[in-house]
Each structure stands twice: as structure tokens, then as C-alpha cells.
Amino acid sequence: MPVCRSGEVRANTVYRSLMPALVIQHLVPVITQSSPSRTALVVIEATSLPASGSLSRPVPQAELIQRLADHHAEVTAGGLDRERTVAGLWKSEGLATTVARRLLPENSLNDPALPRHVLPIEHVGFGSGSTTLHAFDATALHAVFADRCASEYRDFSYEGVGAILRGCERGFFKFMSGALGVARLDTPDGPNPAGFFADYLAQFPPHRQRLIAHGYGRICAFSRLDIYDAIRDATKLPRERIEPIVHGAAFAFLMINSADSPHILRHSAIPFEPEVRAAFQNGLVYGLVFLDWYAPGYLAGWQPLGAVETALIEHARRESALATQRGYPLAFRLANPRQLM
């Protein structure tokens, strides 16, 4: 474990995978203070990993609908719980990844029988699975998303493309991605990374390039031992990619450390440039909105402490109300993002 700077602790998030015998430590810099978990140790069992809902066979549409309803019921039964909510999200994402990889003619995410609360995460998983199946073929991805996705949620699928883009980069993290269920170990290497995948991203319009970069950033939160290192990596990339990658890393950081999310919010004014800090806090706020959409009422009973946590929770509640009025959440962006601080 790295030596801590004075006044800091490193909170460990440990992934216990039942796939390969692999333990990954995610070291989180936070200010020394009593955390909700007391030990600042968050253990995410294999049942909460992105691959936890995956199956090794095709999934008929009726079964897809039932399994998603069951996952959602598990989350909401007996009162909302932060870790259980994230586990439900990842089970649903893994199931959607299976559907995409083993697509049946009857499978569709544009099915009115699907609960709307599961549609954002289902489209993310569907995007990841489709990217693996079609080996990053942009034309094929455009076609399958147009054919099988709900129009209001289609953009969420492009974020899943970015997750696989990071998961399939050459190097040790590609092996880690297999353990986490982000990408299969036999998946070919991704597109040419030159200029942050400039040639590949040119096949997508700008708003979808941002979504792909966001998915890349989301997986960067898994691939670095320290969230600050993930953010520093992002700041070395082309300027237009920094905001979505930091936003995505913050989104994943909140999910990974859900038990300590109030503590993270309180100390979210990270020591980076104002643009980077705003992107990080916006990613945290969006993560809360995403969770509140999946499990309505997630934010209702939250009792924030201090000015920073209060501001972020109030912001998330406003954005969540807008999503409800709109009828769907925006794809990995806020209607009114926080400005520079």
C-alpha cells in the first residue's frame, strides 16, 4: 500500500471474483474522518461485479423481462440499500451484455413490457455486449442499436462501447477486464489508440464520441490503484476528452464505493484544476441521479452533512426531478452541470 500523505487514508475497495482467482485493490484517497463503514473497507462480492448477471446461453425475451423485474425487486424489497442497489444495477448490466452477445430475433430493448427504470443500465450492457460481438465495427453497431434499442435510451448503448474500448486495450488490464466481466479474454485488441482512438471515433458524431469517452473513463476507475492517478491520466489526453473521462471515472468511483458515498461527496473538491474538479463532481451527481432512476426514492431519505454534500445532493434531486418530468434520464450528462468552482 502506498505511503499516505499526512491527513489522508487510503480506503480499499476489494473485488472478490469467483472467475479467475484474482483480487484487485482499488485505493481511494479520502480525508481522514470516520467513514460510514468504520473501517473504510468496502468488499464487493462476485455477485455485485458487472459479470454477475451474465449467462452462458441466449435469453428469451420473456425471461429477460422476468429476470430484470426480479433484480429490481431484490433492490427495492425491505427498503433501499446503497450496496444492494449497485449490485442490482450490475446484475442487470451483465444480463444485457449476455443478450447482446447471444442475440435472438425476439430480443429487443424497445419492448413496452420492460420496466423503464432498468432501461438505462440495460442499454449500457447491450452496448458493451454488442461491441464485443461485432469487434468494434461501427457500422454494425449503428445498425443494431437502431434496430434493437429504445430511441430515448439509445445513446446509453454508445457509452458501453467505450467500456469495451478501455477493456480491450493491450496490456495487463485486458486480463483484469476478463475477471471483472468487462470484456472476454479472447476479445481482439481494440482499435488503433493513436490520438485517443481518433480514427475510430471519427465514425461517430461528437455527442456520441463523448459518450464513448465516458465509458472509457468509467472503466479507468477500475484500472488504476488510485482514483487520483486515473484523473491524472485523463488530464494528459486531448482536451475535449478530459471532461467525459473524468465524469465517467467519478460515476464508477461512486458505484464502487457506494457504502461510503456520503463521505466521498463531502470530500469531492479534489485538488485539480477547476474544470477537472467540476467534471468529477458532476460525475458523482449524475451517479446519484442514475441510482435514483433505477431505484426511485434512493435520494429521498438522504440526510447530507456539511455544505458540499448538501449542495451535491440538492443538485442530484433537482436533476432527478427533471428526469422524471422528461420521462427518461439524459445519457451520462446533467441538464444543468455544476460550473467551475
Q: Measured on CA atoms in the order 226, 28, 26, 280, is the torsion positive or negative?
A: negative
How far is Cα 78 from Cα 80, in angstroms, rounded to an integer?
7
Q: Shortest CA distance to 212 belongs to which of 237, 176, 179? A: 237
Global pTM reads 0.83
How far is Cα 173 from Cα 169, in angstroms, rounded to an integer?
7
How many CB atoms sit inside 10 A of residue 194's CB?
9
118 neighbors 294 (Cβ within 8 angstroms): yes
CA angle, 220 then 84 then 301, to 5°? 105
Alpha-helical runs (H) found in 105-236? 119-133, 138-148, 154-167, 172-180, 194-201, 206-223, 227-235
Per-residue confidence (pLDDT) for residue 124, from 0 to 100: 97
What residues are paired with 10 via a beta bridge? 29
237 neighbors 196 (Cβ within 8 angstroms): yes
How many CB atoms sit inside 10 A of residue 336's CB?
11
Residues 6+ apart with CB under 8 A from 307: none
160 neighbors 128 (Cβ within 8 angstroms): yes
Q: Measured on CA atoms in the order 26, 32, 34, 36, is the torsion positive or negative?
A: negative
How does strand 23-31 pair with strand 42-44?
A: unpaired
In whole angstroms, how far apart are CA 173 and each of 155, 193, 289?
A: 26, 15, 29
320 neighbors 280 (Cβ within 8 angstroms): no
160 neighbors 127 (Cβ within 8 angstroms): yes
225 neighbors 25 (Cβ within 8 angstroms): yes
Which position has the grid cell 433505477?
Answer: 294
C-alpha cell at 193: 489508440
Alpha-helical runs (H) found in the chain? 61-76, 82-101, 119-133, 138-148, 154-167, 172-180, 194-201, 206-223, 227-235, 239-256, 261-266, 274-294, 306-326
Give me the sheet containing 23-31, strands edge to edge.
23-31, 8-16, 42-44
How far is Cα 52 from Cα 47, in angstroms, rounded to an integer?
5
The one-letter amino acid at 175:
F
Give, for all 341 residues of the chain, the pLDDT tens digit: 222 333 332 333 433 332 222 222 333 333 323 333 333 333 333 333 455 566 678 999 999 999 999 988 888 776 778 888 998 998 999 999 999 999 999 999 999 999 999 999 999 999 999 999 999 999 999 999 999 999 999 999 999 999 999 888 765 555 555 555 555 566 667 898 999 999 999 999 999 999 999 999 999 888 777 899 999 999 999 999 999 999 999 999 999 898 889 999 999 999 999 999 999 999 999 999 999 999 999 999 899 999 999 999 999 999 999 999 999 999 999 999 988 76
How far is Cα 122 from Cα 147, in angstroms, rounded to an integer?
15
- What does the DSSP 8-state code read for residue 10? E
